[in-house]
Amino acid sequence: MDQQEQAFLSAALGMGDERLERRLLVGFHLVRDCCRIADDPSWVPRVRVAREALTLALANGTFAPGDLEVPALADLLRALDSEKPNRASVYAALVSYIHALYREASFPAALAAHDVLEQLWTPECPIRDRLEAAYFQGFMQLRAQSAREVSKFSPILLALRARAAGEGEFIALAGVIHHARTMIMGNLPLALREGEKRLRQLHRHPSLWAEGNYLHSMAATHGRAGRPDETLRIARSLLDDRYSSFTVFGALNLIGVAFTDLGDLEAARNAFELTLLAPTALLRRMAALGLMDIHARRMERRAFEQIYRYLINQPFAVDGRIHFFQVAGRGWARFGDPVRARASFDEAYRIARDCGFGYEIFETEELIDKLPDPPRLAHASDIAPEVAAHVGAMRDEHADEIAACLA
Amino acid sequence: MTDSALPEAESAPTSPTGEIPRAAIGFALDRTFADRLARATANAALLLTLQDISADDLCDILVLDPRRVAPRSSESAVVRRHVEANVPCVYYTASSPEALRSVVAASDVSPVRLVLFDVDDDPTTFREVIDLAPRQAHTNRLRLAMKEALRPLVPSVRTALDMVLRRPDRFFDASDVATRAGLSRRHLDRLLTAADLAPAKNWIVGARAWHVAYLLVRAELSVETAAERLGYADSKALRRHLAAVWNVSPSQLSCADLDMLLRDAVAFLGTREPDLESGAG
């Protein structure tokens, strides 16, 4: 069994959510054919099962209207549905599918599909498709726990490839990956300096794609650096039709987070509810997480737990997963459950340490420090009531003297 | 077949590729699935259920539906014995989510191929899968041995080198590997140096030598035919490459132990030495 085929299947069936698994299994049958073609160019794809599975998934609501995966899968199906598929079309369709998987936060499946894409490549495939795939792969490596170490090479390799191909826009996009990496590793002053420099460079080589992403990264960096006002200023400039819907909804999510930090929960709720309309599940989940945070701050336990139960099995980017556990921990702490809060923070801390996310490590340590120490309470529970009773009795004995002192 | 305890075939036809003589196939399949397997092999192979295989026997190939092999059962013990002896295994199951789940769950076996019922089990394709399974299993041994060494590399380089191991006939020199990885030759070499791996050209030579080992040792082809299969201009280059990797001639290679050859091939690919002077073909 081809390693990539096996990796994709394992990723598809390891999502922990039956609906997501059914969606990925449709893709599995097509990715399988891509593996075969990569190995044997004369292979005639067998798309019947994939077509039937896609039709069934559309009919029974596994796919919702507007899901990014649907057009991508349909394109891939169309490209493969031939006795002699055109390699460039199959390649381009697989790139779109990987993009859709990235937006749906199915990172392990997307990375496995990307390995298939590398095998599928031949010189007849358009270079722009290859660069686009490398760009998304760079982000996936950064945001998927397993491949973070490799991500340090992604920007330079993408930039080298883009320069060799004369595709200036992708040189700028390589910078976007680098900038996001700097921010996520926790070096905020450097991220701010780097972002400002790169934005100035974009005046000479304009690219709306890169500009939107830089601005988004800058807004997020200011938010992390404790400047929600700057976040709001930059994010508002992204609420513009010039930018892609992903960028606009991403900005709305940042606005929600900034308002939450400022304590304006009503404005934050409006922003998060708008983000729920985003075309990608990744952003919709972030919006749900924002709403969960608001419910915790408003002490609305039932609504908080409802979203918690929904999100616990949903795929996130690794930074999103850390944020989820932090929000959950803060919520449990507010609801007076320090043991559960500590477990959530410990999980956030573990992931942050595994990934070397400096900012998240410090942030989670601070959150843990703020918790009351349940072991201390537990250890004192056998002696504390006895001593309290003893002191109470002593106080009663000296009640008159104390009253005289207080008079 | 490695043991005479299993019955002999009446005739010994060769595969369409001409590489594999008649094989003994152990299977654990439902009746419908087994019928299709029998039709695909068209009496050119000896089919045995796992229960029919005695404790000392080893089949040449296993065809399993993972749903039919319960953990800790006697069948599972037979499968384990075959896996330990590097016998190639093909998974043949349905395309339902439950069946695919059983494929993922059976993680102790590395099947060379997954064949889905009613999808790619037409006789021609199935027969081809069975015929190529031993060669793929041989290739996979080297791929598995190099898996950890490849892990720290960037994905495009990792995939390119894996492709070299699988299909060395598609690569002639380091430039081909660099092009596939989307890098310049210089940058590719820099990355390989950083990972303390052999230069790309040595990977082509090492992978070709490993494939030659199969063609000469297992498939018992002549040196000339093996050279032609792997895209060598003549057998001289092939001999030179065998000497570079194992310091043996083709006739010495035919008697060599595959485990030892694997160890040396891994060392060859994982050692940084100066580029070999000659090209690959």
Is the per-residue pLDDT at B9 higher than 50?
no
**Are the C-beta atoms of residues A118 and A111 closer than 8 Å to each other?**
no
Choose the closest CB to B100 out of A25, A123, A160: A25
Is the per-residue pLDDT at A384 higher than 80?
no
Which chain A residue has its CA at the smallest distance from B158's CA? A115
CA distance linking residue B39 with residue B53, whole number of Å = 21
Band (pLDDT 50/70/90 cuts) for residue B46 is confident
Structure-block tokens of residue B129: 């899968």
Choose the closest CB to B155 out of A14, A22, A150: A150
**Are the C-beta atoms of residues A298 and A275 closer than 8 Å to each other?**
no
Which site among B119, B132, B139 would you substitute to test the A interface, given the most A Cβ atoms closer than 10 Å to its Cβ?
Answer: B119
Smallest CA-to-CA distance from B97 within A25, A58, A19 is with A25
User: How confident is the model over B81-111, as pLDDT tens digits?
Assistant: 888 888 889 999 998 888 999 888 887 778 8
Lowest mean pLDDT among A211-215, B79-83, B100-104, B251-255: B251-255
**B163–A contact, CB cutoff 8 A:** yes
Map out the domains of chain B as residue ranges. 23-135, 152-269
Choose the closest CB to A121 out of B103, B180, B184: B180
Residues of chain A with pLDDT > 70: what percent? 96
Cα–Cα–Cα angle for A224, A229, A232, rounded to 5 degrees: 90
Residue A105 lies inside a defined structural domain of this protein: yes
List Cα–Cα distances, B59 to B2, B79, B86, in angstroms.
7, 10, 11
- pLDDT (0 to 100) of residue A371: 81
Structural domains in chain A (count): 1
Band (pLDDT 50/70/90 cuts) for residue A150 is low
Band (pLDDT 50/70/90 cuts) for residue A2 is confident
Q: What is the mean pLDDT of residues B213-231?
A: 83
CA distance linking residue B113 with residue B111, whole number of Å = 5
Is the per-residue pLDDT at B14 higher than 70?
no
Q: What is the mean pLDDT of residues B23-47?
A: 85
The alpha carbon of residue B249 is apart from the nearest alpha carbon of chain A, in Å, by: 30
Amino acid at B153: L
Q: List CB contacts of B34: < 8 A, sequence separation 6 or more.
A: B27, B47
- pLDDT (0 to 100) of residue A323: 94
CA distance linking residue B146 with residue B161, whole number of Å = 10
Name B33's bridge partners: none
Is the per-residue pLDDT at B7 higher than 60?
no
Band (pLDDT 50/70/90 cuts) for residue A331 is very high
The CATH number for B152-269, chosen from 1.10.10.60, 2.60.40.10, 1.10.3720.10, 1.10.150.20, is: 1.10.10.60
Residue A76 lies inside a defined structural domain of this protein: yes
Band (pLDDT 50/70/90 cuts) for residue A14 is confident
- pLDDT (0 to 100) of residue A327: 95
Q: What is the DSSP letter of B265?
A: H
CA distance linking residue A339 with residue A337, whole number of Å = 6
Q: What is the mean pLDDT of residues B4-15?
A: 37
CA distance linking residue A407 with residue A399, whole number of Å = 12
Structure-block tokens of residue A283: 């952003």
Q: What is the mean pLDDT of residues A188-210?
A: 90
- pLDDT (0 to 100) of residue A346: 94
Band (pLDDT 50/70/90 cuts) for residue A64 is confident
Residue A326 lies inside a defined structural domain of this protein: no
**B152–A contact, CB cutoff 8 A:** yes
Q: Could you tell me if the ipTM is greater than 0.85? A: no
Other C-beta atoms within 10 Å of A14: how many?
A: 12
Is the per-residue pLDDT at B281 higher than 60?
no
Site of tokens 């005639």: A44
**B111–A contact, CB cutoff 8 A:** yes
What string of H, E and C letters represents the secondary structure of chain A?
A: CCHHHHHHHHHHCCCCCHHHHHHHHHHHHHHHHHHHHHHCCCCCCCCHHHHHHHHHHHHCCCCCCCCCHHHHHHHHHHHHCCCCCCHHHHHHHHHHHHHHHHHCCCHHHHHHHHHHHHHHCCCCCCHHHHHHHHHHHHHHHHHCHHHCHHHHHHHHHHHHHHHHHCCHHHHHHHHHHHHHHHHHHCCHHHHHHHHHHHHHHCCCCCCHHHHHHHHHHHHHHHHHCCCHHHHHHHHHHHCCCCCCHHHHHHHHHHHHHHHHHHCCHHHHHHHHHHHCCCCCHHHHHHHHHHHHHHHHHCCCHHHHHHHHHHHCCCCCCHHHHHHHHHHHHHHHHHCCCHHHHHHHHHHHHHHHHHHCCHHHHHHHHHHHHHCCCHHHHHHHCCCHHHHHHHHHHHHHHCHHHHHHHHC
Residue A26 lies inside a defined structural domain of this protein: yes
Smallest CA-to-CA distance from B203 within B272, B113, B127 is with B272
Residue A294 lies inside a defined structural domain of this protein: no
- pLDDT (0 to 100) of residue A33: 92
Residues of B in contact with A144 (CB under 8 A): none
Q: What is the mean pLDDT of residues B158-183?
A: 89
Residues of B in contact with A13 (CB under 8 A): 97, 100-101, 104
Domain spanning B23-135 has what CATH number? Answer: 3.40.50.2300
Q: Which residue has the higher pLDDT, A252 or A203?
A: A252
Residues of chain A with pLDDT > 90: what percent? 54
Inter-chain residue contact A9 with B103, CB threshold 8 Å: yes
- Mean pLDDT of all residues in chain A? 89
**B279–A contact, CB cutoff 8 A:** no
Alpha-carbon torsion angle A91, A94, A100, A103, nearest 10 = -70
List Cα–Cα distances, A221 to A182, A218, A271, A354, B43, in angstroms.
10, 5, 19, 21, 68
Site of tokens 């039932």: A302
Other C-beta atoms within 10 Å of B98: how many?
A: 9
Domain membership of residue A107 as a residue range? 1-125
Smallest CA-to-CA distance from A120 within A1, A12, A2 is with A2
Is the per-residue pLDDT at A324 higher than 70?
yes
Is the per-residue pLDDT at A159 higher than 50?
yes
Choose the closest CB to A49 out of B119, B160, B163: B119
Q: What is the mean pLDDT of residues A157-171?
A: 90
Residues of B in contact with A164 (CB under 8 A): 184
**Are the C-beta atoms of residues A180 and A139 closer than 8 Å to each other?**
yes
Smallest CA-to-CA distance from A47 within A63, A56, A64, A34 is with A34
- pLDDT (0 to 100) of residue B11: 37
- pLDDT (0 to 100) of residue B50: 83
Structure-block tokens of residue A216: 């988004």
How far from each other are the two terminal CA atoms of chain A, in whole angstroms? 88
Q: What is the mean pLDDT of residues A150-158?
A: 83
CA distance linking residue A52 with residue B207, whole number of Å = 40
Lowest mean pLDDT among A30-44, A302-316, A367-381, B252-266: A367-381
**Are the C-beta atoms of residues A291 and A272 closer than 8 Å to each other?**
yes
Band (pLDDT 50/70/90 cuts) for residue A73 is very high
Q: What is the DSSP letter of B6?
A: S
Q: What is the mean pLDDT of residues A136-140?
A: 89
Cα–Cα–Cα angle for A338, A220, A346, rounded to 5 degrees: 25
Band (pLDDT 50/70/90 cuts) for residue B194 is confident
Which site among B139, B156, B158, B188 would you substitute to test the A interface, given the most A Cβ atoms closer than 10 Å to its Cβ?
Answer: B156
Which site among B98, B120, B184 would you substitute to test the A interface, given the most A Cβ atoms closer than 10 Å to its Cβ?
Answer: B120
Q: What is the mean pLDDT of residues A159-170?
A: 90
Band (pLDDT 50/70/90 cuts) for residue B48 is confident
Q: What is the mean pLDDT of residues B190-195?
A: 88
- pLDDT (0 to 100) of residue B73: 83
Residues of A in contact with B97 (CB under 8 A): 13, 21-22, 25
Which chain B residue has its CA at the smallest distance from A29's CA? B95
- pLDDT (0 to 100) of residue A378: 67
φ and ψ at residue B48, rounded to 5 degrees: -135, 135
**Are the C-beta atoms of residues A58 and A52 closer than 8 Å to each other?**
no
What is the pTM for the complete model shown? 0.82
Is the per-residue pLDDT at A386 higher than 90?
no
User: How confident is the model over B124-148, as pLDDT tens digits?
Assistant: 888 888 888 888 888 888 998 998 8
What is the C-alpha radius of gyration for chain A, rounded to an integer number of angstroms? 26
CA distance linking residue B198 with residue B176, whole number of Å = 16
User: How confident is the model over A277-308, as pLDDT tens digits?
Assistant: 998 888 999 999 999 999 999 999 999 999 99
Band (pLDDT 50/70/90 cuts) for residue B236 is confident
Band (pLDDT 50/70/90 cuts) for residue B234 is confident
Residue A104 lies inside a defined structural domain of this protein: yes
Site of tokens 């390693």: A3
CA distance linking residue A49 with residue B114, whole number of Å = 15
The alpha carbon of residue B160 is apart from the nearest alpha carbon of chain A, in Å, by: 7
How far from each other are the two terminal CA atoms of chain B, in whole angstroms? 34
- pLDDT (0 to 100) of residue A148: 61
